[in-house]
């Protein structure tokens, strides 16, 4: 005989079962959207609309290898958009310990995470992954945009051509171009993706008039180039750069000039035993990547980047939009092995890595002991590769732009799991990504309440910035960076505005770089 309490329990169990079934069904509910090219079918997961593997350009294969991206061909019927497309062909991985992603030359796809539509257009964040323009994938879990989408942003992650497939310059390629230019195909992919976003953002509930370009490392370098590029003007209204940028004098990187890049491309063709572009386009793609050498960098050329970004910003010809930039306090710990550096061999090891440097550059990094020498080397690498570019980017915007710029210094040392590849990283390159994407997975670290609060604040600030051009969302305390008050938001245990500890080091770089550029 069933008691009243038993009947209630059964009824609750039935109701709970129905709710659970409905929740499971909703997690797999198809979501249909019409975009340029045709209709796609994504899905709803945990209150977010997700579309993976959406083509934004034609496959850059065969005769389209080393050509500017073409529109994706239309398709009939409904195209599934529930799986990531292969990453662009690459060597290595973008992050130590990251498993390689499946890759292919047919790779110009993007992914979208969007809030459930409520009738109000949402800001759009377009994310370009890092990886030194040689590797990187949109499918790694860290770039999942669901947490930012739940805060009210449409998040788009974009794959673009890498290595020699994305950046080869060659006299014959320039000759067949109406702009007499070659190289930068990966950056042209990014422009094509932004054009696609402008045309299709509204289909996902996004606002095409509030697009933020964002990236970390080489993704941030891409953002600095897009801000300087006439081809990208009008395609975005905000910009975020994390630990990357391209502002050094071109005298330090002559290979960025078109003529030198073309010569390097011709040398690659010779090494590969090809004599014509048709032969190069017929080569297996993996042979191109394996023999590319240093053909993995932007090129200053007429169609996308006619001038170095520093000169464009200094002349005020850049896209003058609100800017959020920053670097990490211990950038180099995840990238540079200093185990063999000592006080006695510091200069020798530095020269082996960077060649002969002007003495004023390493001068601020004083040391006496071996431990101090290792710290000095890490600090130098941080400033040379990331810190100086970010601070200079902020200064150029503050001096030559009208839109505000916000600067941060990420200082939190994540509680990485002992024994993992990240155990000794500290506040290194990559560390900020776990926080701004709000991905504090227990598989990665022993996260505390302090970490979760910081992740919440950073994710909220990034979405607020995308929405209004100001990171001050719920009770923020960010102040714009200005030449009169050059302070940064120091993102540590207790975020607060403060001075940059590296400013004396940066001034040494300023003096050397200004001497290489010549008078204004």
Q: Which residues are catalytic?
A: 217, 331, 429
Residues linked to residue 40 through DSSP beta bridges, in sequence order: 33, 79
Q: Are strands 48-55 and 78-80 parallel, antiparallel or unpaired?
A: unpaired
In whole angstroms, what is the distance from residue 176 CA to residue 403 CA? 39
User: Which residues 6+ apart lie within 8 Å of 378 measured at CB?
Assistant: 330, 332, 333, 336, 338
Helix axes 218-228, 388-400, angle to 10 degrees: 20
Among 252, 246, 248, smallest CA distance to 298 is for 246
Find all residues with CB under 8 Å of 73, minimum gap 6, and list them: 37, 58
Alpha carbon distances (Å) from 455 to 130, 243, 495: 20, 18, 11
Q: Report how far residue 374's alpha carbon sits from residue 58's, in angstroms, rounded to the nearest whole number.
A: 48
For residue 163, give both structure tokens: 């290595």
Between β-strands 109-115 and 154-158, what pairing exists: parallel, antiparallel or unpaired? antiparallel
Which helix (H) or strand (E) is 281 found in, with range?
A: helix 277-282
Among the listed residues 130, 45, 44, 125, the one whose alpha carbon sits nearest the alpha carbon of residue 87: 130
User: Token pair for residue 85?
Assistant: 């497309």
Q: Using an 8 Å Cβ cutoff, are 379 and 365 in contact? A: yes
């Amino acid at each position: 005989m069933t008691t009243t309490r038993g009947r209630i329990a059964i009824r609750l169990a039935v109701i709970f079962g129905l709710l659970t079934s409905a929740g499971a069904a909703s997690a797999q509910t198809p979501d249909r959207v019409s975009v340029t090219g045709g209709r796609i079918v994504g899905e709803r997961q945990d209150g977010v609309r997700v579309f993976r593997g959406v083509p934004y350009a034609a496959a850059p294969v065969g005769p389209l290898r080393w050509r500017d991206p073409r529109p994706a061909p239309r398709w009939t019927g409904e195209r599934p958009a529930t799986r990531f497309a292969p990453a662009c062909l690459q060597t290595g991985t973008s992050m130590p310990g990251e498993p390689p992603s499946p890759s292919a030359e047919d790779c110009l796809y993007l992914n979208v995470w969007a809030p459930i539509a409520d009738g109000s257009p949402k800001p759009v964040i377009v994310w370009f992954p890092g990886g030194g323009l040689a590797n990187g994938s949109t499918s790694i879990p860290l770039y999942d945009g669901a947490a930012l989408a739940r805060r009210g942003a449409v998040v788009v992650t974009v794959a673009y051509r890498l290595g020699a497939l994305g950046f080869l310059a060659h006299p014959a390629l320039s000759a067949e171009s109406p702009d007499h230019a070659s190289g930068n195909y990966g950056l042209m992919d990014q422009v094509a993706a932004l054009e696609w976003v402008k045309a299709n953002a509204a289909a996902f509930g996004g606002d095409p008039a509030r697009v933020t370009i964002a990236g970390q490392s080489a993704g941030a370098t891409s953002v600095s180039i897009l801000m300087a590029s006439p081809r990208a003007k009008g395609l975005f209204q905000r910009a975020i750069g994390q630990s990357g940028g391209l502002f050094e004098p071109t005298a330090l990187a002559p290979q960025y000039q078109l003529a030198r890049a073309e010569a390097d491309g011709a040398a690659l063709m010779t090494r590969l035993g090809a004599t014509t572009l048709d032969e190069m386009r017929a080569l297996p793609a993996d042979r191109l990547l394996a023999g590319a050498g240093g053909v993995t960098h932007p090129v200053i050329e007429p169609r996308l980047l006619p001038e170095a970004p520093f000169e464009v910003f200094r002349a005020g010809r850049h896209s003058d939009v609100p800017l959020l930039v920053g670097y990490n306090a211990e950038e180099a710990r995840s990238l540079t092995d200093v185990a063999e550096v000592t006080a006695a061999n510091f200069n020798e090891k530095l020269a082996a890595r960077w060649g002969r440097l002007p003495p004023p550059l390493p001068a601020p990094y004083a040391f006496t002991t071996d431990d101090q020498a290792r710290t000095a080397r890490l600090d130098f690498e941080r400033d040379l590769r990331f810190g100086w570019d970010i601070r200079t980017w902020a200064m150029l915007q503050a001096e030559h732009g009208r839109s505000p710029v916000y600067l941060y210094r990420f200082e939190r040392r994540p509680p990485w799991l002992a024994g993992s590849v990240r155990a000794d990283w500290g506040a290194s390159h990559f560390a900020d990504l776990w926080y701004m994407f709000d991905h504090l997975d227990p598989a990665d670290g022993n996260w505390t309440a302090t970490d979760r609060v910081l992740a919440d604040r950073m994710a909220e600030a990034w979405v607020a910035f995308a929405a209004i051009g100001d990171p001050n969302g719920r009770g923020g305390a960010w102040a714009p960076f200005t030449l009169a008050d050059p302070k940064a938001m120091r993102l540590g245990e207790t975020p607060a505005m403060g001075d940059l500890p590296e400013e004396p080091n940066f001034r040494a770089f300023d003096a050397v770089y200004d001497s290489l550029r010549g008078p204004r």
